[in-house]
Amino acid sequence: MRIVSLLPSTTEIIFALGAGDDVVGVTFECDFPPEARSRRIVSTSTLSEGLTPAEIDRLVARRMAAGEDLYHLDEGALAGLDADLVVTQDLCAVCAVDVTEVRDALAHLRCTADVLTVDPQDLGEVLGSIRLIGAATGTPDRADALVRELTGRLDAVRAKVAGRAPVPALVLEWTDPPFAPGHWVPDMVTAAGGACVLGTAGERSYRLDPGVLAGCGADVAVCAPCGFGLDESARLATELVRAGGLPDVPVWAVDANASFARPGPRLVDGVEALAAILHPDAAGEPDPALARRIA
């Protein structure tokens, strides 16, 4: 089988299922595992590098309002791959190539590849998507084993924090302007022994009035801006603290790219890190590669 993955999360899942050798095409964002970087890049962003969060927000809003694409699918690169399976999403136009564009490109190239659309809305559906990809890639047994392993780790976290009062937590999926978390992130907070003060599991993230942050009732704030690693998250969190826009509580930055924004196996790493942030006496210290105390 020859697979093109148009999402970093599905690339990660496919490799975790032992089907990485079948992956022939990926996006410019597919950086885990490192071997994925050796595959042909078929999708790139139309946004320039080095933009601030506020600049990205303005450009994204403008282009979406105008019906313009945020990603470029390289039909020339796709043409030579002779794909049997293309894995994409229809969840978020800001996250990847639109599935309609993928289907149009395959039709134009007269490619008969199957298109698998993966759109998990919450943490349970993320685990379900692993089984879906396992069925499509001929690795159902590996998928079942991986889901059992991840579920076991989640159960272990829940056992550590059981009986403790949920810690009110503010998680920001974007910093300028601030966005409340959606989809699987509130589930992660709950699994880690917290209560997400803004944002609802299974729903979209949404823009916040900065004035609501200080009075949101959180006991901990976590900066998890989509698309950013730990160092960048820490820098953005530091800027928020200096600007005085956050509640006067402990502030943490996390590696959003690795363990929060991408709906794959490493979300469980994120739950473990959150549990250590919210309940350090029960869950220990968070992995310093994933989380950093800012204030």
Does residue 147 belong to any structural domain of this protein?
A: no
Range of the domain at 255: 164-293
Q: Domain boundary residue among 84, 108, 142? A: 142
Does residue 135 belong to any structural domain of this protein?
A: yes
Does residue 156 belong to any structural domain of this protein?
A: no
The number of distinct structural domains making up the chain is 2
Say how far apart CA 263 and CA 182 lie, in whole Å: 12
Q: 204 and 91: one domain?
A: no
Does residue 59 belong to any structural domain of this protein?
A: yes
Q: 16 and 51: one domain?
A: yes
Does residue 150 belong to any structural domain of this protein?
A: no
Q: 94 and 223: one domain?
A: no
Q: 183 and 243: one domain?
A: yes
SS (H, E, C) 59-72: HHHHHHHCCCCCEE
pTM, rounded to two decimals: 0.94
Does residue 255 belong to any structural domain of this protein?
A: yes
Q: 231 and 131: one domain?
A: no
Q: 110 and 21: one domain?
A: yes
Q: Specify the CATH number for the domain of residue 34.
A: 3.40.50.1980
Does residue 8 belong to any structural domain of this protein?
A: yes
> What pLDDT is stored for residue 156 in this prediction?
98
Q: Which residue has the tokens 């349970």?
A: 124
Q: 132 and 175: one domain?
A: no
Say how far apart CA 93 and CA 70 lie, in whole Å: 8
Say how far apart CA 195 and CA 186 lie, in whole Å: 8
Q: What is the pLDDT along the chain (295 residues), one digit of tens a residue?
A: 999 999 999 999 999 999 999 999 999 999 999 999 999 999 888 777 888 989 988 988 887 787 777 778 888 888 889 899 999 877 655 566 667 777 777 776 677 889 898 999 999 999 999 999 999 999 999 999 999 999 999 999 999 999 999 999 999 999 999 999 999 999 999 999 999 999 999 999 999 998 899 999 999 999 999 999 999 999 999 999 998 889 999 999 999 999 999 999 999 999 999 999 999 999 999 999 999 999 9
Say how far apart CA 173 and CA 136 lie, in whole Å: 31
Q: 221 and 114: one domain?
A: no
Does residue 285 belong to any structural domain of this protein?
A: yes
Alpha-helix residue ranges (DSSP H) falling in the chain: 8-16, 53-65, 75-79, 99-108, 123-136, 140-161, 185-191, 230-243, 256-259, 267-278, 280-283
Contact of 189 with 169, CB cutoff 8 Å:
yes
Say how far apart CA 253 and CA 115 lie, in whole Å: 36
Contact of 91 with 119, CB cutoff 8 Å:
yes
Q: 114 and 182: one domain?
A: no
